[in-house]
Amino acid sequence: MTATTLITGIGELVTNDPARAEQGGLLGLLADAAVVVEGSRIAWVGPADEAPDADVQVDAGGRAVIPGFVDSHSHLVFAGDRAAEFEARMTGEPYAAGGIRTTVAKTRAATDEQLTSHVARLVAEMRAQGTTSLEIKSGYGLSVHDEARSLAVARQFTDETTFLGAHVVPAGTTPEDYVDLVTGPMLAAAAPHARWIDVFCEDGAFDVDQARTILAAGSDSGLRGRLHANQLTYGGGVQLACELGLVAVDHCTFLSDLDVESLRDSRTIATLLPGVEFSTRQPYPDARRLLDAGVRVALASDCNPGSCFTSSMALCIALAVREMRMSPAEALHAATAMGAAALDRDDIGVLAPGKAADLVLLDAPSYVHLAYRPGVPLVAGVWQHGRPVVV
């Protein structure tokens, strides 16, 4: 028999269960609730006074429980930091995609052990803040060897690994030669360690035709596509993502009416990364325009050493509410259920029988406090696959 745990006394439970939407709204809210965890899965969800017995009982003391955050966009495999670049930017210099090359040099010089322990530290930092699932990209190796080993390091921490050899063209090569490398030997070395392929489609990085070529090569090697697009300028990246039916297109800061219509008419999720705009002092994406048009929106951290070095999904929620006019419920939904959808996963981001037992106990009576109390550490407990990992 697998041991069972009853978490009861939950003042407010966010289930994200569409079956509870009629009474519980977008978040499938349930008051005075309980959850039974069996092994790595949720076995039961319902009113506390109807809960079955379990081997172990945990009293939430009237506090809120939410699904663990699903951070569908991060760049954790790197060495060094760019605090000096950040300081310069905050004193008036603009962000440019070429800053990535600074991190590439440090990443290539690091040992596998150094890269692994650095990722482990950041993953632990995320978990302590309630992130129970995450995607990790390569993209600071930019050589066959360094991209493959970056992904091998990332794979130790998540199945959601993304080959981002097409992050920026490294020094000493032409764009044409580099695209040939990315779609040839680099892809062959990276594919065994990756589930996804991504391209930074932007002025100063890769154009739409190059992105199309790289995504097609990835698809031929069994990798599913996602895209960085329309972060710094208007461009064709979002429409390419929609045309190709990609699961997600990320950033979406500069959008034309046609871009919004393309997103609305596709199933492609617009993943917004407001920590980037916060950290680069750029205008925020217009989440309200997207949501009002019926576009599916996710939130993620984009944790990386250059444009946004936060691992806090709670900060992203607070920014989305304060700066992008998302409701607190829309923002939490985007950081959990929609993050899962952006990874094409239906087993996480939802608290319902059979789903992963990834839960966060907040030291607050309501999820609203995530946006209402910005910067305050509210995570009182985290269960990942049914195991208490933060208590």
Residues near Zn ion (CB under 5 A):
302
Q: How far is the CB of 73 from Zn ion (least distance, A)?
A: 6
Cα 205 to Cα 210: distance, rounded to the nearest angstrom = 10
Residue 153 CB, nearest distance to Zn ion (Å)? 17
Q: Which is nearer to Zn ion, 115 or 166 (CB)?
A: 166
Give the nearer residue to Zn ion in terms of CB position, either 20 or 224.
Answer: 224
Question: For the chain, what's the residue count?
Answer: 391
Phi, psi of 211 (to 5 degrees): -60, -40
Annotation-wise, does 75 bind a ligand?
yes
Q: How far is the CB of 226 from Zn ion (least distance, A)?
A: 10
Q: Closest approach of Cβ 156 to Zn ion, in Å?
A: 20
> Which residues, other chains included, contact 351 with Cβ-Cβ below 8 Å and sequence gap of 6+?
13, 14, 15, 16, 17, 35, 42, 45, 65, 67, 359
Ligand-binding annotation for 73, yes or no, is yes
Nearest-approach distance from CB 304 to Zn ion, in angstroms:
6
Give the nearer residue to Zn ion in terms of CB position, either 38 or 302.
302
Q: Is 167 annotated as a binding residue?
A: yes
234 is in an annotated binding site: no
Contacts of 217 (CB under 8 A, 6+ apart): 182, 183, 187
351 close to 14: Cβ distance less than 8 angstroms: yes
118 is in an annotated binding site: no
Closer Cβ to Zn ion, 286 or 302, answer by number: 302
Smallest gap from residue 300 Cβ to Zn ion (A):
9
Query: Residue 198: left (phi > 0), alpha (psi -120 to 50), or beta?
Result: beta
74/210 with CB nearer Zn ion: 74
Query: DSSP letters of 205-226?
Result: SB-HHHHHHHHHHHHHTTPEEE
Closer to Zn ion by CB, 60 or 100: give it: 100
The burial class, CB within 10 Å (0-12 / 13-18 / 19+), for 373 is: middle
Task: Give the residue closest to Zn ion by C-beta.
Answer: 302
User: Distance between CA 289 and CA 280 in Å, rounded?
Assistant: 22
Q: How far is the CB of 39 from Zn ion (least distance, A)?
A: 34
Spatial CA neighbour of 112 closest among 187, 193, 225: 193
Helical segments of the chain, H only: 21-24, 83-90, 100-109, 112-128, 144-155, 175-181, 187-190, 208-220, 237-244, 257-265, 274-280, 287-293, 313-324, 328-335, 337-342, 369-372
DSSP 32-67: EEEEEEETTEEEEEEEGGGPPP-SEEEE-TT-EEEE
CB nearer Zn ion, residue 12 or residue 198: 198
The answer to whether 304 is annotated as binding is yes
The least CB distance from residue 25 to Zn ion, in Å, is: 31
Q: CB-wise, 82 or 355, nearer to Zn ion?
A: 82
- Is 82 within any annotated ligand binding site? yes
In the annotated binding site for Fe(3+), the residues are: 73, 75, 228, 302
In the annotated binding site for 4-imidazolone-5-propanoate, the residues are: 82, 140, 167, 231, 307
In the annotated binding site for N-formimidoyl-L-glutamate, the residues are: 140, 304, 306
In the annotated binding site for Zn(2+), the residues are: 73, 75, 228, 302
